[in-house]
Structure 1
Amino acid sequence: MTGRKNAMLTTEDRRWLTGEKVYDGQHAKQQRYQRRRDIRERVYNSMLDFSILLDELDDDEWREIFGEVVDGGQQWQNADEDLQAGVRDGLAFLLRTVGIATLMRDGQVSQGTVPERLFTAALRRAGHRDGLLVDSVSLDIEATDVGIPELLEDLHSDEPMSAGSLYLLMESGAVDTDVVQDCLRDQLLEDDSEEV
């Protein structure tokens, strides 16, 4: 993951963000500040580049990079798993950036929130690129605030936990994945012993 060519993040940025690289010594604070500033600058400039890419990237180049979604949107051809995960996480990153969690927590009827306005505008721009006029957009999200602290308490209490709760803990980064693996192993062993 950290050995790819430079993009929005450099190889050194990736190493630092994933903990492979640690700044120690006399100038560590300044180095960390500089790294964070450089990342912010590159992310900002990369976001501005998406406007150019959306308007100007040739369809053949688009397919060469991303593959193609076919069968009425059911199949994504010629896109490897890393790219699909990158697109998924890129969307999640941008949705989180515009405050989608607030919309998910409130569960209110549309109030013209920033995430809704941007999501609608993005769908209209994407539709326009493909010759479609988007008349309306309906965004309906059902979410439950599970609370990471409560899940951590459940994990440490040795109470059985659902696979979804364990997955959320692993994805949150709030717990070492080894701890979750141990919990899963214990639950599987318990299930096996009950069947005997």
Structure 2
Amino acid sequence: MNFDSIAKEGESRDRGILTPDDRKYLRGEKEYSSKQSEIDARYRIRKRIKNAIIDFSIILSKLTDNDREQIFKSNAPSEERKEGISAEKLDEFVKQTRFVRGIEHAIGFLYLGIVDLGWNFEEVLEAGIKNAEEKRGYVVDNVSVNIEITHSEPNFEELIQKLQRGEGLTSEEMRALIRSGELDIDMETLDRLFERMSEDISEDLDEGEIELNFDPE
């Protein structure tokens, strides 16, 4: 898998809420010449995110069903199983999976903002589902959502020791470690880790141990 090409695709793709420069800045790949320039950039990012959230009222009610279906169907990974997948198709699968990850992370961002305010996330989610079903033309009698969360604090020192011993980490452990900032890792080492992960995925796909479908819960 060519992770360099995937990274470049992320830089060259069209502006969304974030501009290409915003993406570089938030990833730590761009610095501003003054503190005030950085403050101004963060203000612009916050303002665009707020307006994007408000825009979803228009998007839900006014965007056509056909437009919505094209956005999702053209970017979602195929449900078709592929044997002996090539590096190019694996590369395409990763790009498509990023779209689904984007959906997951959007929900995660909204969840954090809602919970930080002390609002009931389940009630907001119920209201959102009700609006969506009404958009489909139904009269909604009731929507009930129940979310149960169990979690624990990761032991970063233990995870680092496992990594140093050459033991494998789960994807969840790796993500927690990288996000924590506790792992002093250069880009070359990170690239090798990604390359190793891509080789493992390719082997599993070739052996039929995993399928190229993505069914978010």
Distance, in Å, in 1 between the alignment partners of 2:50 and 2:178 is 25
Task: Name whichever of 53-62 and 81-90 sits farther off.
Answer: 81-90
| Pick aligned residue for 1:8 from 17, 20, 29 | 17
Cross-structure match for 2:42: 36
- On the 8 A contact 2:17/2:48 being kept in 1, the answer is yes
Q: How many residues align?
A: 159
**1:58-69 mapped onto 2 (5 Å cutoff):** 58-67=64-73
CA 1:36/1:114 → structure 2, altered by over 3 Å: closer, same or farther?
Answer: same
Cross-structure match for 2:148: 141
Gaps of 5+ in 1: 69-74, 103-112, 186-196
CA 1:39/1:165 → structure 2, altered by over 3 Å: closer, same or farther?
Answer: closer
- On the 8 A contact 1:98/1:114 being kept in 2, the answer is yes
Matched, 1:152 2:156: yes
RMSD, aligned CA: 3.3
Aligned AA (2:51): N
**1:36-185 mapped onto 2 (5 Å cutoff):** 36-67=42-73, 80-99=96-115, 113-132=119-138, 133=140, 135-147=142-154, 151-158=155-162, 163=170, 166-170=173-177, 172-174=179-181, 175-176=183-184, 178=189, 181=193
Distance, in Å, in 2 between the alignment partners of 1:12 and 1:164 is 28
SS at match of 1:43: helix
Cα deviation for residue 118 of structure 1 reads 0.7
Aligned AA (2:108): A
SS at match of 1:120: helix
Aligned AA (2:31): V
Q: Which has the higher contact order (CA 8 A, sep 6+)?
A: 2
- On the 8 A contact 1:2/1:14 being kept in 2, the answer is yes
CA 1:90/1:134 → structure 2, altered by over 3 Å: closer, same or farther?
Answer: farther
Distance, in Å, in 2 between the alignment partners of 1:12 and 1:97 is 24
CA 1:84/1:176 → structure 2, altered by over 3 Å: closer, same or farther?
Answer: farther
Cross-structure match for 2:32: 23
SS at match of 2:12: coil
TM-score, normalised by the number of residues in structure 2: 0.61
TM-score, normalised by the number of residues in structure 1: 0.67
Gaps of 5+ in 2: 1-9, 81-94, 198-217
Distance, in Å, in 2 between the alignment partners of 1:23 and 1:44 is 23
